[in-house]
Amino acid sequence: MVSPSISSFADLALNPLIIKALSQVGYEQPSPIQAASIPPLLEGKDLLGVAQTGTGKTAAFALPLLTNIDVLQESPQVLVLAPTRELTIQVAEAFKKYAQNLKGFHVLPIYGGQDMGGQLRQLQRGVHIVVGTPGRIMDHLRRKSLNLDKLKTVVLDEADEMLRMGFIDDVEWILDHTPKGRQVALFSATMPPPIKRVADRYLVNPTEVRIESSTTTVEAIEQAYVQARNDQKLDALTRILEVEAFDGMMIFVRTKNATVELAEKLEARGYSAAALNGDMTQALRERTVANLKKEKIDILVATDVAARGVDVPRITHVVNYDVPYDTDSYVHRIGRTGRAGRTGKAVLFVTPREMYMLRSIEKATRGEIPPMKIPSSKEVADQRVTAFKQQIKDVLVSDELSLDFFEGIVSDFCLENACTAEQMAATLAYMMQKARPLQISEKELKHDQFAFNQDQGRGDRGDRGRRDEGRDGRGRRERGAREEGRGRRDEGRGKRDDSRSAGDRPERKRRDSEPRQARPESDVPMVKYRLEVGKHHNITAGDIVGAIANEAGLEGQYINNLRMFDDYSTVDLPEGMPKDLYRHLQKVKVKSQPINISQFDGADSSGDDAPARKPRSGGRDFGSRDKAPRSSSRDRDSGSSEGDRPIMRRKPSGDRKPRENSRNRD
């Protein structure tokens, strides 16, 4: 259903200032979902987009909706509902990026756990686009601080995720409180029946857009994937380059700007790399490809557009540094290697949120793509030493070279400076290291972000597992039922302005301001901690969860049993917290109040403490790093059969200052 005929943004009737911004951010051409979604959205039609993260779906709705807003009218004209605060922030930032040339444009992200006063002030000042999580948007609608009278469009982003998280009733409530006749765009990676029902109920004659891909087999190419956040990709790539024996390599990125940036970074690290993008003249592109053929360069960093028709037999490796928009494009990209009967290797980088793309690719290529282990810094250093020794051996055994002259220099030097030949050789080895040291520092070893976390077994595909669950909503329902069975109360439900019966709402509802409950899927030994922030500090559970999640880089599913008392709270976190993280968390503040985390000693004045979730065997811990003192709590289990993959880690920024109420992470 996707029309591939649109090959340029200029072919779309977008605001020229937005097209200019696209060129500034380095986009070369619309992705398939964009080519198919932009025209109907510009015309004001409703749209049903079956698309996942990585396809370019955000721009698919952001570009036409920005074109259609009236900047002079400072009231919300577009409302985007998204399942998480991370996505809310990302979408708002995408709007800002595309609207960078629109004077006076304002977009506001709104999510639970964020300071309400700030949100109210910004709303009063006037915004054109609001991006928010359903719970907080409902709060504002109830308070009448968000006025949707002038609303033109509602976007439901990642609708199946909103279903999975129990927000779908809230979404419907919000839709019921928007003006009649507004445009609705619904994007979802999957179409489980409850989402289909929402689409049938709220979308009028929608244009349906889905990316369909043909299935192909790619036998001559060995494939692997690497799960890495965007800020980890460069480090992961350079480590791969160190240990993989490659001849020629093509690295695919999404934007023109990224080709130049990455090629420069690789050059700075001692690789001969060049950019290949659509801004380059045909002659320059041809010269660059010829340089790869002639072995003047080894790595080409290219966009899809520029790489069309590149056929260089020496390409042994293709790296998808940015995930391709669809599976056809993946197959096309990796086909650059494995040419002329040779074998090739293809590495796919996926961010945690793009794991779904991996699944689509596997389906289309009819094969499982295994995870690739990123070498630790120790392994990289060992590899450098091995390569260094090999280099010396090669020269030593070469019949074509005579070393007599050089031996003379060595013995003269040693005599003159009263040193041994070993000392001199060591000095030379030290001098030869340049950008790639043979020895790694203790600090580097300690902060190695890839030392533990790359044993990504199939079972570790958290995102995939969770999304699979969302497909029919069953996992969620079962979990919901178990939680209800533990006596969980859903306080908001009774007050709902919603006439449908409970039977119509199989999905458990959770407001984004509610405390998190222990989730059965978090099968990890837990330790209970005490935080010196409580109800009297005017802090919500969302504030605490948000702060821990962001500061510790910890997924919500590992923050369990948060209980708030008047002056303090308790929370279960995975066992084995690294010491540096523990110290860091002690300093984190929520609403100016230091959380001052400490191990909970069970001395709960209210006597109202619930035991932490009983651990099961086979859980994971933080990894074998320097650990915070172990709990004496009954709630732990020393077994860790899944290796050293850390669940929680400090961000690699070293001496970062703790922030108050932090934000986005990838």
Residue 555's alpha-carbon distances to 84, 121, 426, 462, 618, in angstroms, are 12, 30, 46, 10, 19
Nearest to residue 274, comparing CAs of 565, 293, 329? Answer: 293
In whole angstroms, how close is the CB of 299 to ligand AMP at the nearest point?
20
Choice between 40 and 525, CB closer to ligand AMP:
40
56 is an interface residue for ligand AMP by CB under 6 A: yes
In whole angstroms, how close is the CB of 439 to ligand AMP at the nearest point?
37
Choice between 57 and 239, CB closer to ligand AMP:
57
360 is an interface residue for ligand AMP by CB under 6 A: no
Q: Residues, the chain, total?
A: 666
How many CB atoms within 10 Å of residue 408? 10
Of these, 14, 38, 40, 57, which contacts ligand AMP (CB under 6 A)?
Answer: 57
In whole angstroms, how close is the CB of 325 to ligand AMP at the nearest point?
8
- In a 10 Å sphere around its CB, with 0-12 CB exposed, 13-18 middle and 19+ buried, how is residue 452 labelled? buried
Using CB under 6 A as the binding rule, the residues of this chain from 322 to 351 that contact ligand AMP are none
In whole angstroms, how close is the CB of 63 to ligand AMP at the nearest point?
9
Choice between 56 and 194, CB closer to ligand AMP:
56
Of these, 15, 37, 53, 67, which contacts ligand AMP (CB under 6 A)?
Answer: 53
> At 590, phi and psi to the nearest 5?
-120, 125
376 is an interface residue for ligand AMP by CB under 6 A: no
State the binding string over 12-51 for ligand AMP (x if CB under 6 A, else -). ---------------x--xx--x-----------------
State the binding string over 252-291 for ligand AMP (x if CB under 6 A, else -). --xx------------------------------------
Stretch that binds ligand AMP, among 56-64, 147-155, 361-369, 576-584 (CB under 6 A): 56-64
510 is an interface residue for ligand AMP by CB under 6 A: no
Are 346 and 41 a contacting pair, CB within 8 Å? no
Of these, 47, 59, 78, 99, which contacts ligand AMP (CB under 6 A)?
Answer: 59
Q: Identify the DSSP state of 280.
A: S
Choice between 162 and 585, CB closer to ligand AMP:
162
3 state DSSP class of 571: strand
Choice between 154 and 544, CB closer to ligand AMP:
154
Choice between 56 and 576, CB closer to ligand AMP:
56
Choice between 53 and 513, CB closer to ligand AMP:
53
Evaluate the CA torsion angle 436, 437, 440, 444 in order and state its sign.
Answer: negative
Residue with tokens 């992961």: 236
Amino acid identity for residue 93 in this structure: E
Choice between 325 and 622, CB closer to ligand AMP:
325
357 is an interface residue for ligand AMP by CB under 6 A: no
Q: Could you tell me the two tokens for 400? A: 């074509």
3 state DSSP class of 475: helix
How many CB atoms within 10 Å of residue 446? 13
Using CB under 6 A as the binding rule, the residues of this chain from 469 to 498 that contact ligand AMP are none
Task: For 482-496, give one letter per residue: b (16+ CB within 10 A) or e.
Answer: ebeeeeeebebeeee
Of these, 58, 153, 316, 631, which contacts ligand AMP (CB under 6 A)?
Answer: 58
In whole angstroms, how close is the CB of 161 to ligand AMP at the nearest point?
13
Task: For 358-384, give one letter per residue: b (16+ CB within 10 A) or e.
Answer: bbbbbebbeeebebbbbbbbebbbeeb
301 is an interface residue for ligand AMP by CB under 6 A: no
For 260, what's the count of Cα atoms within 13 Å in the CB-facing half-sphere?
Answer: 8
State the binding string over 112-151 for ligand AMP (x if CB under 6 A, else -). ----------------------------------------
Size of the site for ligand AMP (CB under 6 A): 13
3 state DSSP class of 252: strand
Choice between 4 and 520, CB closer to ligand AMP:
4
Are 556 and 525 a contacting pair, CB within 8 Å? no
In 45-192 the beta strands, taken as DSSP E runs, fall at 47-50, 78-81, 107-110, 129-132, 153-156, 183-188
55 is an interface residue for ligand AMP by CB under 6 A: yes
Where on the chain is the footprint of ligand AMP (CB under 6 A)?
Answer: 27, 30-31, 34, 53-59, 254-255
